[in-house]
Structure 1
Amino acid sequence: MFTTPSLAVPAGLHYAPEDILDQLGTRIVRTWLRDTWGIWSRDDHSIVIASGLGAAQKGCVLAHELEHALAGDIDCGNRSWSIRQERRADVAAACKLIAISDFAEVAQWAPDIYTAAGELMVTERLLEVRLNDLRGESWPWRRQDGLKIAG
């Protein structure tokens, strides 16, 4: 498991996962990938990303894979464990890539999620992850039984 570099890490539009990976000594390999955009390899501390990704796609993939690296994740072959790892990496990456202040500014004028994602330099999918997080779906104190005023 890596430790986060000992410097202030900006969030949102100024978040640079590639710089953090460089500080951690993580090698980034670009190659053709058949059915995914990125893979974290714990064995050799490298990240493989698909060649030909746009800037937003590349940033999202690197942020997601960085979260796997920071958590020391492994592909254990257990589907439910893998799903939890993927969800956690998505939420953490989305929170770092999309600062609430940036989101609030763009939400005032962006007509749709595609425009907002483009302005925030993220994929629409990762923006959806952040929206779900802001709705409280992954908050540990969220009531699971809904909001009831009277029983």
Structure 2
Amino acid sequence: MSAALLATGLRYAPAAILDDLGIAVIRTWLRDTWGAWSRTHRRIVIASGLSAVQERCVLAHELEHVYADDADCSNPLARVRQEQRADLEASRKLIAISDLAEVAQWAGDPHTAARELCVTERLLEVRLNDLRGEGWPWRPQDGSRIAG
């Protein structure tokens, strides 16, 4: 098994995993999305001109579609669920709790934290929502899950 497949957090490299899986990544102009997985053609198309962080996040998201063997979905509700699942799983791999805990000790805002974690602010928000109630900074506290 490739070391890239086992890494998480700052060491997580979705481009290397896609390469190991033989999934082609095509960069081109896209009008209304940053990326898409084509199960039929076994390739990922991503928007040209993305920053390195944006590309890493898009590839992680699309890789989750690959793992789930997602196909084009005409059902809007099912499509939303696929997208939410891909975001959640990508955020879990891109943002290890140990990395988040380290950055949370000094970063004063989510923008700084996202930059240090090499993720978009949106995927940081997805990860923080996944961990809601756990006392992470930049999030309103709803009270304790145990006492609360």
Normalised to the residue count of structure 1, the TM-score between the two structures is: 0.85
Q: How does 1:111-150 map to 2 (within 5 A)?
A: 111-135=108-132
Deviation at 1:131, TM superposition (A): 0.2
Structure 2 residue 53 is matched with structure 1 residue 65 = no
148 and 99 in structure 1: CA distance in 2 versus 1, 3 angstrom threshold: closer
* Whole-angstrom distance in 2 between the partners of 1:10 and 1:148: 31
Structure with the bigger RCO (C-alpha within 8 Å, sep 6+) is: 1
In structure 2, list runs of 5 or more residues that go unmatched. Answer: 134-144
Aligned equivalent of 2:13, options 16, 36, 54: 16
Normalised to the residue count of structure 2, the TM-score between the two structures is: 0.87
In structure 1, list runs of 5 or more residues that go unmatched. Answer: 1-5, 137-146
* Whole-angstrom distance in 2 between the partners of 1:84 and 1:109: 34
- The alignment-based identity, stated in percent, is 66
1:81-125 deviation per Cα after TM superposition (whole angstroms, max 9, x unaligned): 001100100000000000000000001100100000000000000
Deviation at 1:7, TM superposition (A): 3.5
Structure 2 residue 45 is matched with structure 1 residue 51 = no
* Whole-angstrom distance in 1 between the partners of 2:112 and 2:47: 24
148 and 11 in structure 1: CA distance in 2 versus 1, 3 angstrom threshold: closer
* Whole-angstrom distance in 1 between the partners of 2:23 and 2:2: 17
27 and 99 in structure 1: CA distance in 2 versus 1, 3 angstrom threshold: same
Structure 2 residue 63 is matched with structure 1 residue 28 = no
**Runs (4+) off by over 3 Å:** none
Aligned equivalent of 2:84, options 87, 91, 99: 87
Q: How many residues align?
A: 134
Deviation at 1:148, TM superposition (A): 9.9
Structure 2 residue 72 is matched with structure 1 residue 75 = yes
* Whole-angstrom distance in 2 between the partners of 1:28 and 1:66: 11
* Amino acid in structure 2 at the alignment position of 1:109: W
Deviation at 1:135, TM superposition (A): 1.5
* Whole-angstrom distance in 1 between the partners of 2:26 and 2:73: 22
